[in-house]
């Protein structure tokens, strides 16, 4: 798929279609209220939560890595449009990763000495969530 923008888009879309492990603490809390908690059930839940957190971290790392790799390579003539496509694709379900990719886009602008564009990208964080603002700073 390297060099073929359409295949990279399809592969990235397939990566995003994989269900990401999510934390269903609300459902577990309801079940836990019904169940009498013992040391073994508590330890088992802790192990399961740790496993779930680890899988979430891996999924985020894979998506972030794939995003950073394909974004500048999607369109050979205009690398910015590749970043825009990746960001728009991620915004719906992975807002934090989309923010990281925007930062990566700003850094790429800085490397190419396009300072005005980098400033515009970084200013867009003023309208975003506080967690994303902290990463941009």
pLDDT tens digit string along 9-66? 999 999 999 888 776 554 555 455 445 556 667 777 888 899 999 999 999 999 999 9
Q: What is the DSSP string of 92-125?
A: TT-HHHHHHHHHHHHHHHHHTT-HHHHHHHHHGG
Quickly state the pLDDT bin for 76 (edges 50, 70, 90). Answer: confident
Distances in Å between the alpha carbon of 126 and those of 53, 95, 101?
29, 15, 16
Q: Please answer whether residues 115 and 106 qualify as being in contact, where contact means their C-beta atoms are separated by less than 8 angstroms.
A: no
User: What is the overall mean pLDDT for the chain?
Assistant: 82
Q: Which residue has the higher pLDDT, 74 or 135?
A: 74
Whole-structure pTM value: 0.73
């Amino acid at each position: 798929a390297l060099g073929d923008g359409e295949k990279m888009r399809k592969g990235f879309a397939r990566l995003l279609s994989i269900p990401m492990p999510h934390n269903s603490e609300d459902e577990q809390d309801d079940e836990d209220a019904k169940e009498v908690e013992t040391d073994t059930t508590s330890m088992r839940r802790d192990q399961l939560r740790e496993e779930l957190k680890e899988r979430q971290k891996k999924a985020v790392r894979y998506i972030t890595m794939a995003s950073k790799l394909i974004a500048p390579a999607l369109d050979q003539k205009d690398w910015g449009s590749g970043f825009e496509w990746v960001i728009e694709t991620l915004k719906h379900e992975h807002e934090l990763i989309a923010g990281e990719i925007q930062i990566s886009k700003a850094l790429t602008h800085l490397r190419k000495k396009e300072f005005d564009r980098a400033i515009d990208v970084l200013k867009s964080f003023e309208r975003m969530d506080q967690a994303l603002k902290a990463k941009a700073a």
